[in-house]
Amino acid sequence: MEKRPHLDILLCAPRGFCAGVDRAIQIVELALKKYGAPVYVRHAIVHNKYVVESLEAKGAIFVEELEEIPDTEAPVVFSAHGVPKSVPAEARSRNMFFLDATCPLVSKVHVEASRHFEEGHEIVLIGHAGHPEVIGTMGQLPQGAVSLIETVEDANRFEPKDPQTLAFVTQTTLSVDDTREIVAALRARFPAINGPHKEDICYATTNRQESIKAVAPRVEAMIVVGSPHSSNSQRLVEVALRSGCKVATLVDRASDIDWSLYDNLGSLGVSAGASAPESLVEEVIDAFAERYSVKVETVTTAEEHIAFNIPKILRSLEANAGR
């Protein structure tokens, strides 16, 4: 039998599911348990098709808009990314029973944006156009109340109505470094701009990026397990490349690995976006173990002990589930 070459795998920690994702998935699972199938979910509950497919197998039905849902007494769940105010308003007008799985850290940004608006501020949102979280945050306020800034160039071009009454909020899943540069550009131009009391970029996004920064310079290549639709997963690949790793790719699962990029390796870093299940990380490691003699070392840069409460109506089931 041919001897397999040795491969050191440095496994980033923290990685994978964050508290907001875990909570959102629990809400769908517990709703299915309490009310039975179907449970309708507006937009992918989290950006991972394997999570979505596993929930579909249990009886969840995913739609993009409420108008796709027939008149029903079945529960309707709003995704972790948050929704514009028009969505719960439409649900109420149709007497729908809905459960809001918006991540509490996204809800915090919604509250901040609304508070700034009430105080008469012109609001800048740093984020990616078209992302559901951005659509949800902008949809908390009247049309035109929020200006979207995606890049430093946008920040340098932006012309406010009144530089003295500006405030900014950010999407929770951005690159920490990119956002710092954009905020610096805004502050340089508009010193009076109001920012959040506490960082909007969520703890999980920050921690996963810091873990990548610690591992990327130590390895020849990096794999991030996550969906191409996942903003926080895409940012992890960018951070790995910026941190000195020559090869870094995003894969949904082991079958997506381009093995031509991972030939004759001595060391590999592995991480996962906040919506990627740990089973897919294990699958990737197993795929490398078929080609290499692997030694896995976990590199821990932070401990995470955060958990978010699920809606009260589902809590007795949560206790019974022992989660």
Catalytic residue among 112, 133, 220, 297: 133
Same domain, 97 and 184: no
Same domain, 181 and 252: no
* CB 91 within 8 Å of CB 115: no
Same domain, 34 and 13: no
Same domain, 292 and 211: yes
The number of domains in the chain is: 3
**Residue-level pLDDT, tens digit, the chain, 323 residues:** 568 999 999 999 999 999 999 999 999 999 999 999 999 999 999 999 999 999 999 999 999 999 999 999 999 999 999 999 999 999 999 999 999 999 999 999 999 999 999 999 999 999 999 999 999 999 999 999 999 999 999 999 999 999 999 999 999 999 999 999 999 999 999 999 999 877 788 999 999 999 999 999 999 999 999 999 899 999 999 999 999 999 999 999 999 999 999 989 999 999 999 999 999 999 999 999 999 999 999 999 999 999 999 999 998 765 555 44
Same domain, 120 and 99: no
The phi, psi pair for 240, rounded to 5°, reads: -60, -45
Distance between CA 158 and CA 123 in Å, rounded?
12
* CB 167 within 8 Å of CB 193: yes
In this prediction, residue 320 carries a pLDDT of 55
In this prediction, residue 196 carries a pLDDT of 87
Encoded tokens for 133: 């979280």
Q: CATH number for the domain including 72?
A: 3.40.50.11270
In DSSP terms, 8 is beta-bridged to: 267, 295
Same domain, 91 and 135: no
Encoded tokens for 96: 């729908």
Same domain, 216 and 276: yes
Same domain, 208 and 295: yes
Same domain, 277 and 207: yes
In this prediction, residue 5 carries a pLDDT of 95
Q: Tokens 């949809």 map to which residue?
A: 139
**Residue 291 covered by a domain:** yes
In this prediction, residue 317 carries a pLDDT of 63
Please say if 133 is a catalytic residue. Answer: yes
Cα(first)–Cα(last) distance of the chain, in Å? 45
**Residue 308 covered by a domain:** no
Distance between CA 301 and CA 44 in Å, rounded?
30
In DSSP terms, 9 is beta-bridged to: 268, 296
Of 75, 136, 99, the closest CA to residue 24 belongs to 99
User: Domain end: 76, 103, 130, which one?
Assistant: 103
Domain that holds residue 26: 19-103
Same domain, 208 and 227: yes
Counting Cβ atoms within 10 Å, is residue 311 exposed (0-12), middle (13-18) or buried (19+)? Answer: middle
Encoded tokens for 75: 């529960």
Q: How many CA atoms lie within 13 A of 320 on its CB side?
A: 7
In DSSP terms, 223 is beta-bridged to: 249, 270
**Residue 277 covered by a domain:** yes
In this prediction, residue 322 carries a pLDDT of 46
Sign of the C-alpha dihedral computed for residues 259, 261, 264 and 266 taken in this order: negative
**Residue 307 covered by a domain:** no
User: Domain end: 103, 121, 146, which one?
Assistant: 103
List the Cα angle 206/208/213 in 5-degree steps. 95
Q: Provide the whole-model pTM.
A: 0.92
Same domain, 185 and 137: yes
**136: Cβ contacts below 8 Å, ≥ 6 apart:** 81, 82, 83, 84, 102, 106, 110
In this prediction, residue 323 carries a pLDDT of 40
List the Cα angle 87/310/74 in 5-degree steps. 50
**Residue 73 covered by a domain:** yes
In this prediction, residue 198 carries a pLDDT of 74
E strand residue ranges, the chain:
6-13, 39-42, 60-63, 76-78, 98-100, 122-126, 146-149, 166-170, 221-225, 247-251, 267-272, 293-300
**Residue 265 covered by a domain:** yes
Q: CATH number for the domain including 13?
A: 3.40.1010.20
**Residue 316 covered by a domain:** no
**Residue 53 covered by a domain:** yes
* CB 134 within 8 Å of CB 81: no
Same domain, 90 and 130: no
User: Domain end: 189, 216, 231, which one?
Assistant: 189
